[in-house]
Chain A
């Protein structure tokens, strides 16, 4: 009897511990290549070169949804896709320094009255309905809004809003309380190698953060004359969600599928994409004039 009692206590404690499996509906996050994450630790820097900024990765991380059965749904280059969970961070992105930040669920997710099983199941239904829709390469919508143009974090926000849970408050942040701002001076080919200073922001209290970039005419959601992006880290830090333990039975990295990166933007050079105001040719013209002027000055005597 003396030996059986401690064993029974041990069995009870083990059975009463937190479930190790990743819960259906969990929101998953990882950093960008080089473990860079826009908004974290005061990093509000965007690349200047068009090759890096809009033909590359914005170093803003990634978000996806766990739908159970070791599967995720996320918005990536190929569109909204359903894949094995290990493709959340592909081996290629792991090798490039992307790091898993963890998974989160709504703060009241364990409250059975607020989140009965059917409400959690509805996350899967809504997410699966988006599978096969397009990725928003110009970030003109980001959260779908019926057209099916999603970024990674926009998809996660949309799905939760459809089941009645607003993870990140709606709204736009450009300055003042509720976020941070930082000036950034760009100097690259697109500014004709002259200084161009803009103010980038990172919202904590609202979905969309204002960016000012030499190529902002080509990307971002238009709002009151400015361009805005919903960054994954804004959603990640919301107090409406809480972290869940890592699940050793559900791999989240090492897959070989197509890119698990978000904010892989490629603007349409022709300037006809939605939200494109066609300012780029003017910028280019100005840049050419500056270069031409510089060439004249550099003429040897």
Chain B
């Protein structure tokens, strides 16, 4: 009898831990997830999914826990990256999130992948007030940082971001970063940038960059005469990838 009850009790404990009962309107679940997320004694592979769920909860109260994680420089970089990403998913407490991300990005010992994630998250949050951080990131000696800054600025898609990207293109030596600048400027399909993309397609010395310019121009729903002429000229480009991208009906 005792053994049976003990087994049942043990099973119930494990079962409740594995599948706890749902609280009223998910409130208990939010509290539970937040508790798991901020508990340093819990394994990261358990905390990170809890952090992801907080970000997807749509509940503004989740921001408190996420900001706490992001603001702690002693926290695991993977946990902090996940918190930054979740804050971007949540989209609430936006100003506090942006401020915390800028602060974490500026830490002297910040992990590279945390910085990459913060740049991406700032872009997703359309942090147009963070242009000075992006300007600094575009001049970073690490090509990976410059690449992610360019990608994030493309998400911002405002005149300040476009100006930074255009200025950086002329200075940038790394073909991967230049290609990403072209993609960032091309994805919003802004007709005002058609002349720039056309110039890149015809003049950039790297086939990778020209190819991406051709891909971007081809995706425009309507092309002006400059874009059409550039694509026609690119049909004789030495790169087979550029020729293929530029080919077909305009």
Which of B15, B45, B120, B239 gathers the greatest number of chain A CB atoms within 10 Å?
A: B45
Residues of the A chain whose Cβ atoms lie less than 8 Å from the Cβ of B207: 116-118
1/0 per residue, CB under 8 A from B, across A109-136: the answer is 0000100111101101100110111110
A121 to B182 alpha-carbon distance, docked (Å): 15
Residues of the B chain whose Cβ atoms lie less than 8 Å from the Cβ of A281: 19
Chain B interface helix/strand/loop/mixed: helix
A291 within 8 A of B: yes
Shortest CB distance B240–A (Å)? 6
Residues of the A chain whose Cβ atoms lie less than 8 Å from the Cβ of B50: 268
Contacting residues of chain B (3-60) with chain A, CB-CB under 8 angstroms = 3-5, 7-8, 11-12, 14-15, 18-20, 22, 26, 29, 32-33, 44-46, 48-50, 52-53
Shortest CB distance B193–A (Å)? 19
Residues of the A chain whose Cβ atoms lie less than 8 Å from the Cβ of B218: none
A2 within 8 A of B: no
Of the residues B7, B46, B183, B212, contact of A291 by C-beta under 8 Å: B7
Contacting residues of chain A (44-99) with chain B, CB-CB under 8 angstroms = 50, 55, 77-79, 81-83
Q: How many A-B residue pairs have CB under 8 A?
A: 152
The stretch of B63-71, B128-136, B173-181 in contact with A is B173-181
Is there an interface contact between B11 and A132, defined as CB atoms closer than 8 Å? no
A248 within 8 A of B: no
Q: Report the nearest B residue to A192, measured CB to CB.
A: B11
Contacting residues of chain A (203-246) with chain B, CB-CB under 8 angstroms = none
Is there an interface contact between B78 and A189, defined as CB atoms closer than 8 Å? no
Shortest CB distance B33–A (Å)? 7
B81 within 8 A of A: yes
Residues of the B chain whose Cβ atoms lie less than 8 Å from the Cβ of A294: 4
Chain B interface size, under 10 / 10 to 19 / 20 to 34 / 35 or more: 35 or more
A300 within 8 A of B: yes
A105 within 8 A of B: no
Of the residues B4, B175, B206, B211, contact of A295 by C-beta under 8 Å: B4
Is there an interface contact between A272 and B29, defined as CB atoms closer than 8 Å? yes
Residues of the B chain whose Cβ atoms lie less than 8 Å from the Cβ of A264: 45
B112 within 8 A of A: yes
A113 to B50 alpha-carbon distance, docked (Å): 47
A131 to B116 alpha-carbon distance, docked (Å): 7
- Indicate whether A79 sits within 8 Å of B8 (C-beta atoms), given known contacts A118-B211, A269-B19: no
Residues of the B chain whose Cβ atoms lie less than 8 Å from the Cβ of A124: 176
Residues of the A chain whose Cβ atoms lie less than 8 Å from the Cβ of B126: none
1/0 per residue, CB under 8 A from A, across B105-120: the answer is 0000000110011011
Shortest CB distance B196–A (Å)? 18
Is there an interface contact between B144 and A82, defined as CB atoms closer than 8 Å? yes
Residues of the A chain whose Cβ atoms lie less than 8 Å from the Cβ of B52: 134, 137
A19 within 8 A of B: no
Is there an interface contact between A270 and B20, defined as CB atoms closer than 8 Å? yes
Shortest CB distance A74–B (Å)? 11
A95 to B194 alpha-carbon distance, docked (Å): 54
22 A-B pairs with C-beta separation under 8 A: A113-B240, A116-B207, A116-B241, A117-B208, A118-B206, A118-B242, A121-B179, A122-B211, A128-B148, A128-B151, A132-B85, A133-B120, A134-B82, A189-B14, A264-B45, A266-B48, A268-B49, A269-B19, A270-B26, A280-B19, A288-B12, A298-B1
Residues of A within 8 A of B (CB): 50, 55, 77-79, 81-83, 113, 116-119, 121-122, 124-125, 128-129, 131-135, 137-138, 189, 192, 258-259, 264, 266-273, 280-281, 284, 287-288, 291-292, 294-295, 298-300
Residues of B within 8 A of A (CB): 1, 3-5, 7-8, 11-12, 14-15, 18-20, 22, 26, 29, 32-33, 44-46, 48-50, 52-53, 76-78, 81-82, 85, 112-113, 116-117, 119-121, 144, 147-148, 151, 175-176, 179-180, 183, 206-208, 211-212, 239-242
Other than the known A128-B176, A137-B49, A291-B8, what 17 A-B pairs have Cβ atoms closer than 8 Å? A79-B113, A116-B207, A117-B208, A119-B241, A122-B211, A131-B113, A132-B81, A132-B116, A258-B76, A267-B49, A268-B49, A268-B53, A269-B18, A270-B32, A270-B33, A288-B11, A299-B4
